[in-house]
Chain A
Amino acid sequence: MTSAAQTSARQASGKYDLVIKNGRVIDPVLGFGREAHVFIKDGKIVKVDVDSASVRREMKALDSNQIIDASDKLVVPGLVDIHVHLREPGHENKETVKSGCRAAAAGGFTSICCMPNTTPRIDNQETVKFVQDRAKNADAHVFVVGAVTKGQKGEELAEIGDLVNMGTVAISDDGSYVQNAEVMRRALEYSRMFNIPVMQHAEDRLLSEGGTMNESFESTRLGLRGSPSVAEEIAVLRDIALCRFTGGRVHIQHISTRGAVEAVRQAKKEGVNVTAEATPHHLILTDKEIGKEFNTNLRVNPPLRSEDDREAVIEGLVDGTIDCIASDHAPHSAEEKDCEFDQAPPGMIGLETTLGLVKTYLIDKGYLSWGDALRKMTANPARILKIPVGTLGEGTMADITIIDPEKKWTVKADKFLSRSSNSPFIGRRLTCQVYKTILEGRVVYER
């Protein structure tokens, strides 16, 4: 018997496959926030134990390669990103399901939701199945979001029942807004039957037509066509009204304006079934960045807003109006971005920088505690999607992220595992890096 075979035989028969010891375990669901040890068997969490003496005894039966020492590290539920573009099928030059999952693992995400604006659109069972097949044995769980309407054209409802039957967890026409209020009303009513949220890219196209950046003095100064904040605010207000009327459930994607945040805040107070997400770039950057060098990696939709909007999004995140932090990971090739600002496709990658940005710009600046931040990247998105992840509870899948919270690093274009490197944060010095990412008990990423 080779030693590897011996090890695997011993593991198969042993009480545990893997133990993560001495880490500071934070699970917003369980309420943990102290040193503990996580025991894993058959890809599931057996227990989270705070008794170090018993851990020492139990570990004697384990091989050294079955023990991860997480001293000075945070051990948290695998992160969940509710908004990711994997680009496959159709745009494999930008990203594939596999490469996107590798990027997710490198960023500490074990569960990601992929948006349906691929080519063809994910508006039918076959395409859902295709993506799910691609995601088999990938480095993250992929939850598919189906289209609201056929071809994402905003006209006829997609076969939402079929999509849900295939495992779709939500529907969205992301990239475009369901402009027709009647269609949106029917989508909210119909999706109620399956208890899934309609995720909305809230942007009234009639108001934002041709806009390439936020409409503000910056767009005025630069002569770039502006997309007004009121296009988002009106879209959000309409959807809240439709939710109230239909009893449906809407999730506002990448919220970016003060007016929209305030609308969601009031709607929640009133009991309307609305949730919202915000991206790191809308929490950190403003439209003032664009004029510095017309960096096309700053072109994104919704656009980077004013400082006042940025502050409002942070306030919404802090007071719970905004439920999730989502990357809106949107890969584009270097060739596509190497052009005139207003010709560049909108979008930026984010899976590999989100955690570092959240720590550096939200936790270290005192806006969020680790517990609050993690809740918005684990339990909250899992709750909205009703998926059984985002916690370290006994018997759940052993999706775990081990974080080196004070590790300093610099974002570099050539270090991304994503196929694309269109990040506006290249060159930034961040604090906090993923140490290991564990998917169903298997280490899928380690530094």
Chain B
Amino acid sequence: MSRLSSRHLLGLEGVPRGDIETIFKTADTFREVLDRTIKKVPTLRGITVVNLFYEPSTRTRISFELAEKRLSADTVSFSPSTSSVRKGESLRDTLQNIEAMKIDMVVVRHTSPGVPYFLTRFSDANIINAGDGSHEHPTQALLDMYTIYKKYGKLDGLRVLLIGDVKHSRVIRSNIWGLKTMGASVALCGPATLLPYEVEQFGCDVYTNLHKALEGVDVVNVMRIQLERQQLGMFPSQREYTKLFGVNKEKLKQLKRNYTIMHPGPINRGVEITSDVADGNKSVILDQVTNGQAVRMAVLYLLRSKDDERGIL
């Protein structure tokens, strides 16, 4: 069985196509496990995984925890409010203490970009980035891409539009790297104030007009707009955001083909996407969540199997 080229998953920038294909193939196997009556395999029995969540998260944390449990790993979840972080312990000390308890893998979410990389410098565990600030969120992008791949059987040549707060979105960044590696063409759309400086250097088509952005698109991946951004003056009002960038049936009429609607959640219904679109027959939003299980199981298994020889069972 082919392995990944790294023992960590820190981001999708620079991750080779072969690795992503391997993750997809492995995810297919775990996707079948999820349809069984007993959704559990002994793959990571004896392996301890720590979920280190410095930033609030519900669905990503639950998704990782379930994936770990279904692989029979022992898991511990840790978040700042219940830890000694409030006592002023440094990130390094926290992790080194946890690692001294002989753990094998760390899934980390943090508000500061680069934290997963920082952890690799003094930890022997396999590090998985579950979101570092506005930098990357590789497993989310992998599950987005896997969902597209399952529907179309390929990513090559597809055109994917990512709509929303490009400036602050780690999901968009990871999607850009992964999709480009897999041969898709990527379009970005959002208010000019939420397009980061020199964004065109990503090598994507960048739009501030949703109508133009939608031209020739196969997949529309709508991002949650954080309403706090409005208070920071990034756009004048939620009303105007919805008017200019909100996705609704009317705006999607220009798409003729077999298009797909995605959203990484949680959804602000009626803000960035209307309910009829989110729940409509083009939407794969709940498939994304299920596929997230399979993809995260695949990543956990593949990273660990680089260090010891394990079969999936």
Give the interface of A toward B (CB within 8 A).
Answer: 215-217, 219-224, 226, 228, 293-294, 335, 338-343
Interface 0/1 of B98-115, CB less than 8 Å to A: 000000000000101111
Whether A294 and B197, one on each chain, are in contact in the complex, defined by CB atoms closer than 8 angstroms, is no
CA distance A339 to B88 in the complex (A): 12
Size of interface on B: residues with Cβ below 8 Å to A: 27
Q: Is the CB of B197 within 8 A of A223?
A: no
Q: Are B135 and A220 in contact (CB-based, < 8 A)? A: no
Report the nearest A residue to B173, measured CB to CB.
A223
Q: How far apart are the CA atoms of A224 and B90 in the complex, in Å?
A: 20
**Once the chains are docked, how many angstroms separate the CA of A338 from the CA of B173?**
26
Contact in complex: B197, A339 (CB < 8 Å): no
User: Which B177-196 residues have C-beta < 8 A from chain A?
Assistant: 196
B118 close to A217 (CB less than 8 A)? no
A220 cross-chain contacts in B, Cβ below 8 A: 167, 196-199, 201-202
**In whole angstroms, how far apart are the Cα atoms of A79 and B131 in the complex?**
48
Which A residue sits closest to B201, measured CB to CB?
A217
Contacting residues, chain A, for B92 (C-beta < 8 A):
338-339
- The distance from the CB of B75 to the nearest CB of chain A, in whole angstroms, is 24
Quick check: A223 and B170 within 8 Å, CB to CB?
Answer: yes
A223: B residues at CB distance < 8 A: 113, 132-136, 168, 170, 173
Q: How far is the CA of A17 from the CA of B112 in the complex (A)?
A: 58
Question: 5 closest pairs, A vs B, by CB?
Answer: A223-B134, A294-B114, A223-B135, A340-B112, A217-B198
| Alpha-carbon distance A224/B168, docked complex (angstroms) | 9
B87 to chain A, nearest CB (A): 15
B112/A341 in contact, CB under 8 A: yes
> Which of the residues B112, B117, B170, B201 comes within 8 Å of A293, measured between beta carbons?
B117
In contact, A226 and B197 (Cβ under 8 angstroms): yes
User: Are B112 and A343 in contact (CB-based, < 8 A)?
Assistant: yes
Contacts of A341 in B (CB 8 A): 112-114, 118
B74: CB under 8 A from chain A?
no
Selected contact of A342 from candidates B113, B121, B167, B170, CB within 8 Å: B113
Q: Is B13 an interface residue (CB 8 A)?
A: yes
A217 to B168, CA, bound (A): 14
Are A222 and B113 in touch, CB under 8 angstroms?
A: yes
B157 to chain A, nearest CB (A): 25
Q: Which residues of B contact A216 (CB under 8 A)?
A: 197-198
Give the complex CA separation of A224 and B135 in angstroms.
7
> Do A219 and B91 contact each other (CB < 8 Å), given the known contacts A294-B114, A294-B118?
no
Distance of A217 Cα from B202 Cα, bound (Å)? 8
CB distance from A249 to the nearest CB of B (A): 34
B113 partner residues in chain A, CB cutoff 8 A: 222-224, 294, 341-342
Cα distance, A389 to B133, chains bound together (Å): 49
- Complex contacts, B132 vs chain A, CB 8 Å: 223
* B115: A residues at CB distance < 8 A: 340
CB distance from B42 to the nearest CB of A (A): 36
A217 CB contacts on chain B under 8 angstroms: 197-199, 201
Nearest chain B CB to A417 CB, angstrom units: 27
Contacts of B118 in A (CB 8 A): 294, 339-341
Are the CB atoms of B133 and A224 closer together than 8 Å? yes
Q: Which residue of A lies closest to B195 (CB)?
A: A220
24 contacts between A and B (CB under 8 A): A216-B198, A217-B198, A219-B196, A219-B197, A220-B167, A221-B13, A222-B113, A223-B113, A223-B170, A224-B113, A224-B134, A293-B117, A294-B113, A335-B90, A338-B90, A339-B91, A339-B92, A340-B110, A340-B112, A341-B113, A341-B118, A342-B112, A342-B113, A343-B112
Residues from chain A with Cβ under 8 Å of B133 in the complex? 223-224, 342
Q: Which residues of B contact A342 (CB under 8 A)?
A: 112-113, 133
Do A215 and B114 form a contact, CB below 8 Å, given A223-B132, A223-B135, A223-B173? no
Q: How far is the CB of A283 from chain B (nearest CB, A)?
A: 23
Kindly state the separation between the CA atoms of A223 and B118 in the bound complex, as whole angstroms: 15
Minimum C-beta distance from B303 to chain A (A): 20
User: Within 8 Å CB of A222, what residues of B?
Assistant: 113-114, 135
Known: A220-B201, A223-B134. 18 other contacts (CB 8 A): A215-B197, A216-B197, A216-B198, A217-B197, A219-B197, A220-B202, A222-B113, A222-B114, A223-B135, A223-B136, A223-B168, A223-B170, A224-B134, A293-B117, A294-B113, A338-B90, A340-B112, A341-B113
Q: Closest Cβ of chain B: how far from A413's Cβ, in Å?
A: 15
Give the Cβ gap from B184 to chain A, nearest Cβ, in Å.
Answer: 19
* Cβ 8 A contact of B91, one of A221, A224, A226, A340: A340
**Chain B 1-30 interface residues, beta-carbon cutoff 8 Å to A:** 13
- Complex Cα–Cα for A296 and B197 (A): 22
Write the chain A residue with the least CB distance to B200: A217
What's the nearest-Cβ distance from chain B to residue A211, in Å? 11
Q: How far is the CB of A418 from chain B (nearest CB, A)?
A: 22
The interface residues of chain B lying within 8 Å CB-to-CB of A215 are: 197
- For the complex, what is the distance from the CA of A30 to the CA of B168, rounded to whole Å? 57
Chain B positions 143 through 178: 1 when the CB is less than 8 Å from some CB of chain A, otherwise 0: 000000000000000000000000110100100000
A339 contacts which chain B residues (CB < 8 A)?
90-92, 118
A294-B198 in contact given A222-B135, A223-B134 (Cβ < 8 Å):
no
